[in-house]
Amino acid sequence: MKKTTKFSFAILMILMLMVFTACSSSSGGEAEADGKGLEFKMGHMNSPDHVQDKLAMAPFSEEVAKVTENRVKFKIYPGGALGGPKDTYDNIVTGIMDAGWGLQGYNAGKFPVHSVLQLPFLTGGNGAELSVVAQKLYDTFPEIQKEYDDVKLLWVHAADPYAIITKGKAVRSFEDAKGLKLRTPSVEAGKMIESWGATPVSLPAPEIYDAMQKGVIDGGVLPVAAIKDFNLFDVVDYVTLGDFNTSIYYVAMNKNSWDKIPKEDQEMINELIGVPMAEKAGAAFDKQKELAEKEAKDGGTEFITLSDSDLQKFKDASKGVTENWLSEMEKNDVDGQKIYDETVKLIESK
């Protein structure tokens, strides 16, 4: 009887120890049991070599660790390891990811007000300058801030101005765009493409290479930097420049994960995010654009500059996209004209 009692007590102690250990390590993003600090999972859809990983997210992670003396760390998971392009934002909201980088265009209808910067030809400047505009729009307008209520926004940024990239078919005039199947990064860009008489095709950026190679699409509306980011050199024959539009990207954090960070460390991280990181992320695209253009030209890709008259045809055709956006804002009791005018002002005063 005594032996049975001792044996039962030992089993009970082992079970209690197992439960305690499990509870100590079950929550992602919480402090490690050995006191090394908080480590958060930051995911994105791209390869580890993508310029945003190397020149924006990785430096941010390093700087956070530095200013918090390793009390807070971000571990980056590339390649969609924590979720695909279309799942990123929802995975951040639900906590599957502690934080992540994504393209607004994969969440159609989620950011209707902030999408003002994705309207046709609001592209004066480079990626760094447009990224600061994107961040300042968020900082300025409560209507835009409300669109990110379900996350802790770390920063937003834009890309270098978009061009038309094609395989086999050159776009040297407005008429050349008609009938083409072009990948679109957003609803606004899709409507712009339709206004040219072309067909927009929505698909994630990592799928562009295969789609162009197999003839599923003729090309797409993309930043020049993307040719290098997604190694499209073999499938891109022509790049038609025109500063057609840009896209907005977000880096956001799960609210519960953010709340686990001590207030004093939150304050230090807040000093790093926003405009400084927006500008750094945009500058990363600008650097990549230079490398992509040189490598593409060296490989035989032709870069085409449209005549003023043809470029104006593209602009005239796409005016309805902006008019439609303003109309939608009015229907939703948002002063779209004020936001649009401020966007133009910020671009012109960069």
Of 255, 287, 319, at which residue does a domain stop? Answer: 287
Same domain, 80 and 185: no
Is 5 inside a domain boundary?
A: no
Q: 333 and 240, same structural domain?
A: yes
- Where is the domain boundary, 259, 287, 315? 287
Tell me: do 277 and 135 sit in the same domain: yes
**Cβ 167 vs Cβ 237: under 8 Å:** yes
Query: Does one domain contain both 172 and 306?
Result: yes
Contact 162, 246 (CB under 8 A): yes
| pLDDT score, position 28 | 42
Q: Which domain holds residue 63?
A: 36-111+126-157+247-287
Q: What is the pLDDT of residue 124?
A: 87
Q: Is 115 exposed, middle or buried (0-12, 13-18, 19+ CB in 10 A)?
A: buried
* 20 is a domain residue: no
What percent of the chain has a predicted confidence (pLDDT) above 90? 84
User: Is-above-0.85 flag for pTM?
Assistant: yes
Q: Which residues touch 288 (CB under 8 Å, ≥6 apart)?
A: 51, 160, 225, 228, 229
Cβ pair 208, 230 in contact under 8 A: yes
| Inside any domain, residue 222 | yes
Is there a domain that residue 141 lies in?
yes
| pLDDT for residue 27 | 40
Q: Are residues 241 and 203 in the same domain?
A: yes
Residue 236 and residue 254 share a domain? no
- Do residue 242 and residue 189 come from a single domain? yes
Could you tell me if residue 69 is inside a domain? yes
- Give the model's pLDDT for residue 223: 95
Is residue 23 one of the residues assigned to a domain? no
Tell the residue number behind the tokens 């750094």, with chain if given: 280
Q: What is the Cα–Cα distance from 183 to 320, expressed in whole angstroms?
A: 20
Which CATH number fits the domain that encloses residue 89?
3.40.190.170
**26 domain-assigned:** no
Spans in the chain with pLDDT lower than 50: 1-34
Q: Which of 20, 252, 68, 44 is nearest to 149 (CA)?
A: 252
Let me know whether 236 and 339 are in one domain: yes
Residues 275 and 193 in one domain: no
Are 179 and 263 in a shared domain?
no
pLDDT digits (tens, 9 = 90+) for 282-332: 999 999 999 999 999 999 999 999 999 999 999 999 999 999 999 999 999
Give the pLDDT confidence of 88-99 residue by residue, as tens digits. Answer: 999 999 999 999
What is the total count of domains within the chain? 2
Residues 152 and 262 in one domain: yes
State pLDDT tens for residues 215-234: 999 999 999 999 999 999 99
Q: Do 279 and 335 lie in a common domain?
A: no
| Strand 38-43, strand 181-184: pairing | unpaired
Residue 54 lies in a domain: yes
